[in-house]
Amino acid sequence: MRKKYLYMILALLSMSMGAEAKYLGQLSSNPYDSSSTSNSYGAGSQYNQNSINNEYGEYGSRYSNKSVNNPYATDAPKLYDSEGNYQGKLSDNPYDPDSISNPYGRYGSKYSPDSINNPYGAGSRYRKDSPNNRYGEGWSILDE
């Protein structure tokens, strides 16, 4: 029931952002959720053209500017928690201030409460919406 509300909120959020926003799944370590990037038969399939795990797709290629795997990408997908709060860019770019891979940035530092890399903050494996919770719902990935 709670998941339905989350998807409704995401749909409304994506409509308010314009026609450009595209839902790419949930950044989650939950292998049982079909919208999880850890589910190899769902959103995390290497054959799904919009999957971050498809090395030939727009979001998984090492060469695409929208890819999570390109260390120079500047237009990577954005992350939102279950309450709709922005949580940074899902990017390998260590120089982008909003990247979760920037060790000195708000969303990548292991000391920042907003960082996925802080095991006591947003990245805690005990939070129900943390991407690090194996049975949690994770964060929404949107391409805007």
Q: Specify the higher pLDDT residue, 102 or 21.
A: 102
13-59 pLDDT, tens digit each = 555 555 588 999 999 999 999 999 999 999 999 999 999 999 999 99
For residue 55, how far is the Cα from the chain centroid?
17
* Span 79-100, average pLDDT: 96
Task: Name the DSSP class of 75.
Answer: S
Residue 49's pLDDT is what? 94
Scored b (16 or more CB within 10 A) or e, 48-73 reads: bebbbbbeebbbbbeebebbbbbeeb
Looking up tokens 């922005």, which residue turns up? 86
Instruction: Give the integer Cα–Cα distance in Å for 104 and 134.
Output: 26
Q: What pLDDT sits at residue 20?
A: 80
Are the C-beta atoms of 22 and 50 separated by less than 8 Å?
yes
